[in-house]
Chains A and B, each alone.
Chain A
Amino acid sequence: MVNLIVELSKYIMIILFAGYTYECFSVLGRKSKEKQARIFARQTALMYLLHLNAYVVIFAVTQEFALILFYLAQVILITVVLNCYQIFYPKASRLVINNMCMLLLIGFIILTRLNETKAVKQFIIVTISIIITLLIPMLIRKLKFFHKLTWLYAAIGIVMLGIVAIAGATSYGAKISFTIAGITIQPSEFIKILFVFFIAARFSASVKMKDLILTTLVAALHVLILVVSKDLGGALIFFVVYLVMLYVATRKLSYFLGGILCGSAASVVAYKLFSHVRVRVIAWRDPLSVIDNEGYQICQSLFAIGTGGFFGLGLYQGMPGKIPVVEQDFVFAAISEEMGIMFALCLILVCASCFLMFLNIAMQIKNLFYKLVALGLGTVYGFQCFLTIGGVTKFIPSTGVTLPLVSYGGSSVLSTLIIFGIIQGLYILREDEENEYGSKTGKRKKQSTGKKKKKATSFDTEFEKLGE
């Protein structure tokens, strides 16, 4: 009987998640506010149902009553978050909120299945983080000096990265974290955000050659420290974010391509110089031939994904525990194994949907500093998703980064929630901008919409607010 529940549920969950994912993109078409509201309501319902279904399976298999309480706690948390945003930030993007909650819930589901203690810990961290980050949109809206703190961002970033590089604890070959009062912190997760702010502040102030060079040097220093700490994934994210922001700020394709060329050259040098880079590449090329050493982790991950197949083995039916650090860097493999490649593909689409929203906000907002911030954070998010999923599936060599909001890890979850909070703040700012514009020129909403349609991309209409 339990088997039947597991078997049936895996299909139901794929259908529910596919429905949810479909709505992520269907909302982007030109739809009326009422229609959009209905879509978001449907999404929320699908999210609750999927979560419920997963916990029915978890309970059916484990028979632990404590997990019912845990389930209820999660439902309460998500309900509170959804309502808080609706009450305090009616102008915030519902799609981003929904996606944030969906990703957190998927994280809870898979972590409960993998390791209940870690799941509870994660839940506590998420709760605290959400309370903190609920304030962020308001801060973004009220405080107007973010673009002035340029050198403070860089100073904090470089000093913190430097401390970790020198005194940090080594985990899986990389120095990325240190522990204070029993709490392990991974500073690079937060410095990503400061880094984006630093670059945005510099570029929004000036893109003259002299300033560009100085900015580039400071950015390069960040990346170098990370390389020295052997945090390859981190270094790569900083580098790509910098390039993308440079390109958008200067609109010079030659900078972007030149940067990529330099990056490629640097990768080759790194390959020759560092054994840990070579190890990753060897494991990527032919993992089965080095399965006893370098290729062990990636092979286990591919066993999991491959054996799981398109529809998954069902929760608790696979062996995700065989994959080292499955709760963190390789959580995607566990999801794919037990919930199916179909589910995993939807998960990629949901991440893509978040990324699209981030970049869309960047395109819409007029203030150059905030535009670059949105762009930078969007790139951080999108590129990190790509690195972790690509690494787990052997699309690219594994770099050891987490899947935002889904993977276990306090620093990762808090920093991602901060990013989501900032994006919501910017979204609301953009709404304000639009209203200002609208009232100054005395145009009514209808007209401005009509005008916008000409130049806007198809998914702009999502921004026409529900709760104005």
Chain B
Amino acid sequence: MVTYLFLAIFICLMGYMVYFQVLRSEDFINSSYNARQDSFQTRITRGEILSADGQVLAQTNTDAEGNETRYYPYSNLFSHVVGYTSKGKSGIESAMNFNLLRSHSFVVERAVNEIQNEKSMGDTVVTTLDTSLQQTAYQALGTYQGAVIVLEPSTGKILAMVSRPDFDPNTLETNWDIITADEAGESVLLNRATQGLYPPGSTFKIFTTLEYMRENPDYGSFAFQCNGSASVDNTTIHCYGNSVHGAEDLKTAFANSCNSAYATIGVGLDKSSFAKLCEQMLFNKTISAGGIETTKSRFTLNADSSNGLTMQTAIGQGETLVTPLHMALIASAVANDGVLMKPYVVDHTQSSEGELVKQFEPTVYSEEFLSKEEASALQEYMQYVVTNGTGQKLAGASYTAYGKTGSAEFSSDKSQSHSWFVGYAHREDKPDIALAVIAEGAGTGSTFAVPAAKQIFDAYYQ
């Protein structure tokens, strides 16, 4: 019996090793702590990175003496999402490092290369990024710092990801010292689309609305008389530009982005349940985006928070901070009837000859991220923002747009704000796209971010 027991243990051990290698090893191999990845560089020429429409985003050029340089034909355009591979690694260059340094090209060719001491060609990474959409998004942001991220809600594919200020990865090594010294305090290397933490401003009202709906199933009968401000304890919240919205229901308050209404709603909410909702809505959680570096959004409200802070939080000021990726995912879940897809940026890898090596399939992040009813209510509200509220610049297009604007105050100077738009667009003949636009210090959402979003939607549905 002892013999069989031990034999069984040995067999389990062997089985586990095979199991580990087949199913678990990727997590370890791809860890950035794994220094072994770079040792492949002596034998393999780093593979290409392509856009979904087949354009080269990164390639390795070898000169006559065998010196390799990584060349990025689009220079600044894809700087953050594609990333860099000199002076450390970032973006897709980092996430797909191992795949780029593995060769699945023709076996005989690889053997011949070995004999001649020549490098074999690494695998090609084909992304989900669309060059023309990326270009539009990049131009839409103009000279402002900020970020744009565009997703396909039905799959989670990231179609465009822009972060500005940007850099030219071709000259990164030369300019490294200047960039990292960062005298202007611009954090050029930070991918604002996934790592930038911004006050959400009024875009946060999506969450406040959702919490109100969950606590009050008869939210349809909500009524509020806006006279330009709301005060509780010592805190007074004013509506933007001191507008007076008059009689409102929840939908019109949402469309008008009425601070007074939402501050009042906020005070009435169950704070710990609100905190729970926000945890479920991915606050304080790491969001994985196909290996691209991300930062957790932050929500700090709890049962002990003061009424003042609660009012601030309910309208998207206070201590809450979000990433553009996070907000785009929320819009994407609304568009997709409550189902949230995992965002990803690499569609597949292929050998240098084009043979498929590994296909990345869309995966569901959460089947019931929002309930069907919640999703459809938010769809209605977000459409109303475009038809009757702060997003009217998007009305009357060939597609139906949905969204929420935001003007996030970020300093004591109340006249300055980040311009936000979070939303999606729908037209029967093409898959929906969701996006988040933030332009730092560009003013209200409707002045800058809405027209910027329109440019992107227009380009997509053109």
Pairwise interchain contact B39-A291, C-beta atoms closer than 8 A: no
Q: Does A18 contact B (CB under 8 A)?
A: no
Nearest-neighbor residue (CB-CB) of B21 within chain A: A341
Pairwise interchain contact B21-A318, C-beta atoms closer than 8 A: no
Q: How many A-B residue pairs have CB under 8 A?
A: 109
Q: Does A146 contact B (CB under 8 A)?
A: no
Given known contacts A302-B28, A317-B39, A341-B21, A247 and B33 CB-to-CB distance under 8 angstroms? no
Nearest-neighbor residue (CB-CB) of A248 within chain B: B2
Residues of chain B contacted by A299 (CB below 8 angstroms): 28, 31, 33
A386's contact among B13, B27, B34, B39, by CB below 8 Å, is which? B13
Nearest-neighbor residue (CB-CB) of A310 within chain B: B21
Residues of chain B contacted by A413 (CB below 8 angstroms): none
Pairwise interchain contact B114-A393, C-beta atoms closer than 8 A: no
Q: Does A305 contact B (CB under 8 A)?
A: yes
Residues of chain A contacted by B12 (CB below 8 angstroms): 395
Residues of chain A contacted by B43 (CB below 8 angstroms): 3
Nearest-neighbor residue (CB-CB) of A296 within chain B: B33
Pairwise interchain contact B115-A303, C-beta atoms closer than 8 A: no
Residues of chain A contacted by B397 (CB below 8 angstroms): none
Residues of chain A contacted by B18 (CB below 8 angstroms): 341, 345
Given known contacts A299-B31, A319-B35, A355-B6, A306 and B21 CB-to-CB distance under 8 angstroms? yes
Residues of chain A contacted by B39 (CB below 8 angstroms): 313, 317-319
Given known contacts A306-B20, A386-B9, A348 and B14 CB-to-CB distance under 8 angstroms? yes
Nearest-neighbor residue (CB-CB) of B2 within chain A: A244
Pairwise interchain contact B2-A1, C-beta atoms closer than 8 A: no
Q: Does A191 contact B (CB under 8 A)?
A: no
Pairwise interchain contact A309-B17, C-beta atoms closer than 8 A: no
Given known contacts A305-B25, A379-B2, A348 and B33 CB-to-CB distance under 8 angstroms? no
Residues of chain B contacted by A209 (CB below 8 angstroms): none
Given known contacts A4-B114, A306-B20, A319 and B13 CB-to-CB distance under 8 angstroms? no
Q: Does B67 contact A (CB under 8 A)?
A: no
Q: Does A322 contact B (CB under 8 A)?
A: yes
Interface residue ranges of A273-317 to B (CB < 8 Å): 288, 291, 299, 302-307, 309-310, 313, 317
Residues of chain A contacted by B20 (CB below 8 angstroms): 302, 305-306, 393-394
Nearest-neighbor residue (CB-CB) of A359 within chain B: B3
Q: How distant is the Cα of A247 from the Cα of B14 in the complex, in angstroms?
A: 26
Number of interface residues of A (CB under 8 A): 47
Q: How distant is the Cα of A394 from the Cα of B21 in the complex, in angstroms?
A: 12
Q: Does B356 contact A (CB under 8 A)?
A: no
Q: Does B176 contact A (CB under 8 A)?
A: no
Residues of chain A contacted by B9 (CB below 8 angstroms): 386
Nearest-neighbor residue (CB-CB) of B98 within chain A: A307
Q: Does B462 contact A (CB under 8 A)?
A: no
Residues of chain B contacted by A7 (CB below 8 angstroms): 114
Q: Does A259 contact B (CB under 8 A)?
A: no
Q: Does B117 contact A (CB under 8 A)?
A: yes
Pairwise interchain contact B16-A395, C-beta atoms closer than 8 A: yes
Residues of chain B contacted by A389 (CB below 8 angstroms): 13
Residues of chain B contacted by A247 (CB below 8 angstroms): 2
Interface residue ranges of B59-82 to A (CB < 8 Å): none
Q: Does B7 contact A (CB under 8 A)?
A: yes
Pairwise interchain contact B17-A393, C-beta atoms closer than 8 A: yes
Q: Does B222 contact A (CB under 8 A)?
A: no
Q: How distant is the Cα of A98 from the Cα of B335 in the complex, in angstroms?
A: 68
Interface residue ranges of A322-356 to B (CB < 8 Å): 322, 336, 341, 344-345, 348-349, 351-352, 355-356
Pairwise interchain contact A1-B117, C-beta atoms closer than 8 A: yes
Pairwise interchain contact B115-A345, C-beta atoms closer than 8 A: no
Q: How distant is the Cα of A337 from the Cα of B26 in the complex, in angstroms?
A: 15
Residues of chain A contacted by B35 (CB below 8 angstroms): 303, 319, 322
Residues of chain B contacted by A187 (CB below 8 angstroms): none
Pairwise interchain contact B13-A306, C-beta atoms closer than 8 A: no
Q: Does B36 contact A (CB under 8 A)?
A: yes
Pairwise interchain contact A302-B25, C-beta atoms closer than 8 A: yes
Q: How distant is the Cα of A415 from the Cα of B3 in the complex, in angstroms?
A: 22
Pairwise interchain contact B13-A390, C-beta atoms closer than 8 A: yes
Q: How distant is the Cα of A390 from the Cα of B20 in the complex, in angstroms?
A: 12
Nearest-neighbor residue (CB-CB) of B115 within chain A: A4
Interface residue ranges of A242-280 to B (CB < 8 Å): 244, 247-248
Q: How distant is the Cα of A358 from the Cα of B36 in the complex, in angstroms?
A: 39
Size category of the binding interface on chain B: 20 to 34
Residues of chain A contacted by B26 (CB below 8 angstroms): 306
Pairwise interchain contact B16-A303, C-beta atoms closer than 8 A: no
Q: Does A382 contact B (CB under 8 A)?
A: yes
Q: Does B460 contact A (CB under 8 A)?
A: no
Residues of chain B contacted by A291 (CB below 8 angstroms): 31, 33
Residues of chain B contacted by A351 (CB below 8 angstroms): 10
Q: Does B232 contact A (CB under 8 A)?
A: no
Pairwise interchain contact B2-A319, C-beta atoms closer than 8 A: no
Given known contacts A395-B13, A395-B16, A303 and B28 CB-to-CB distance under 8 angstroms? yes
Q: Does A375 contact B (CB under 8 A)?
A: yes
Q: How distant is the Cα of A304 from the Cα of B36 in the complex, in angstroms?
A: 8
For the complex formed, measure the closest distance between the CB of B68 and the CB atoms of chain A, giving whole angstroms.
18
Q: How distant is the Cα of A352 from the Cα of B2 in the complex, in angstroms?
A: 13
Residues of chain A contacted by B25 (CB below 8 angstroms): 302, 305-307, 309
For the complex formed, measure the closest distance between the CB of B103 and the CB atoms of chain A, giving whole angstroms.
12
Residues of chain A contacted by B31 (CB below 8 angstroms): 288, 291, 299, 303
Q: How distant is the Cα of A313 from the Cα of B35 in the complex, in angstroms?
A: 14
Q: Does B247 contact A (CB under 8 A)?
A: no
Residues of chain B contacted by A379 (CB below 8 angstroms): 2, 6
Nearest-neighbor residue (CB-CB) of A337 within chain B: B36
Q: How distant is the Cα of A299 from the Cα of B25 in the complex, in angstroms?
A: 11
For A302, A304, A310, A363, which residue has the most chain B Cβ atoms within 10 angstroms? A302
For the complex formed, measure the closest distance between the CB of A289 and the CB atoms of chain B, giving whole angstroms.
11
Q: How distant is the Cα of A3 from the Cα of B17 in the complex, in angstroms?
A: 27
Residues of chain B contacted by A319 (CB below 8 angstroms): 35-36, 39
For the complex formed, measure the closest distance between the CB of A378 and the CB atoms of chain B, giving whole angstroms.
8
Q: Does B459 contact A (CB under 8 A)?
A: no
Residues of chain B contacted by A390 (CB below 8 angstroms): 13
For the complex formed, measure the closest distance between the CB of A76 and the CB atoms of chain B, giving whole angstroms.
33
Pairwise interchain contact B14-A345, C-beta atoms closer than 8 A: yes
Pairwise interchain contact A303-B34, C-beta atoms closer than 8 A: yes
Pairwise interchain contact A393-B16, C-beta atoms closer than 8 A: yes
For the complex formed, measure the closest distance between the CB of A338 and the CB atoms of chain B, giving whole angstroms.
11
Q: How distant is the Cα of A288 from the Cα of B32 in the complex, in angstroms?
A: 11
Nearest-neighbor residue (CB-CB) of B36 within chain A: A307
Residues of chain B contacted by A307 (CB below 8 angstroms): 25, 28-29, 34, 36-37
Q: How distant is the Cα of A322 from the Cα of B18 in the complex, in angstroms?
A: 23
Given known contacts A7-B114, A375-B2, A348 and B10 CB-to-CB distance under 8 angstroms? yes
Q: How distant is the Cα of A363 from the Cα of B4 in the complex, in angstroms?
A: 13
Residues of chain A contacted by B37 (CB below 8 angstroms): 307
Given known contacts A355-B6, A356-B7, A359-B3, A306 and B29 CB-to-CB distance under 8 angstroms? yes
For A302, A307, A317, A352, which residue has the most chain B Cβ atoms within 10 angstroms? A307
For the complex formed, measure the closest distance between the CB of B64 and the CB atoms of chain A, giving whole angstroms.
22
Residues of chain B contacted by A305 (CB below 8 angstroms): 17, 20-21, 25
Q: How distant is the Cα of A353 from the Cα of B12 in the complex, in angstroms?
A: 15
For the complex formed, measure the closest distance between the CB of A295 and the CB atoms of chain B, giving whole angstroms.
10
For the complex formed, measure the closest distance between the CB of A394 and the CB atoms of chain B, giving whole angstroms.
7
Q: How distant is the Cα of A299 from the Cα of B115 in the complex, in angstroms?
A: 34
Q: How distant is the Cα of A198 from the Cα of B183 in the complex, in angstroms?
A: 74
Instruction: Taking A3-B117, A305-B20 as given, write out 19 further A-B residue pairs in contact, using a Cβ cutoff of 8 Å, ordered by the A residue number.
Output: A247-B2, A288-B31, A299-B28, A303-B28, A303-B29, A305-B25, A306-B21, A306-B25, A318-B39, A345-B14, A348-B14, A348-B17, A352-B6, A352-B7, A356-B3, A363-B3, A386-B6, A386-B13, A393-B17
Q: List 9 A-B contacts (CB under 8 A).
A: A303-B36, A305-B21, A313-B39, A319-B35, A355-B6, A383-B6, A386-B10, A393-B13, A394-B20
Instruction: Give A contacts to B, CB under 8 Å.
Output: 1, 3-4, 7, 244, 247-248, 288, 291, 299, 302-307, 309-310, 313, 317-319, 322, 336, 341, 344-345, 348-349, 351-352, 355-356, 359-360, 363, 375, 379, 382-383, 385-386, 389-390, 393-395
Please list the 6 inter-chain residue pairs (A to B) with the smallest Cβ-Cβ separation, ordered nearest first: A306-B25, A303-B34, A307-B36, A306-B28, A352-B10, A302-B28
